[in-house]
Amino acid sequence: MEITVAQEQGRVPVTVLRVAGNTDSASANELEKKVMEVIDNGARYLVLDLSNVPYMSSAGLRVLQEAFTKLRSLAGSESKEDTYRQIAEGSYKSPHLKIIKPTKEVLEVLKMSGFDMLVSIEKDLKTAVASF
């Protein structure tokens, strides 16, 4: 697995993680370490570019869930009750985490797991950065 980190500036500073390679039990720890490192270093708006991830297992989904949860908890402005209500209504999308260009296979995993109901999936980086 290869992970590169870049910064983009929109209305807010956005950290972009470009992931290449399978995201499974053998590599998920590496992705988790990098995601938590950028969050611990102050990143509050993340875009994950999954265009070069041919496969994602439940271990990869766990990393996405942990990033989602940590960013939401750091924001402080979102109440759990409002978040859960919006999720139940189908109107919630994370204001802190976006995914761009997942491969067809990864998009299928995101949809089957329901993760597409929590996080916006965008076609390109420009659209994702502008959505924060």
Task: For residues 35 and 109, give the distance between their C-alpha atoms in angstroms, rounded to a whole number.
Answer: 20
Please state the pTM of the whole predicted model. Answer: 0.89
pLDDT of residue 90: 78
Task: For residues 58 and 23, give the distance between their C-alpha atoms in angstroms, rounded to a whole number.
Answer: 9
- Mean pLDDT of the 120-132 span: 95
Answer whether residue 76 shows pLDDT above 90: no
pLDDT in tens, 39-60: 999 999 999 999 999 999 999 9
pLDDT in tens, 109-119: 999 999 998 99
pLDDT of residue 82: 80
The alpha-helical segments, DSSP class H, found in the chain are 28-40, 58-75, 80-89, 104-113, 125-130
Domains in the chain: ranges and CATH: 2-130 (3.30.750.24)
Answer whether residue 75 shows pLDDT above 90: no
Rg (CA), the chain: 14
Phi, psi (deg, nearest 5) at residue 105: -65, -40
44 touches 11 (CB < 8 A): no
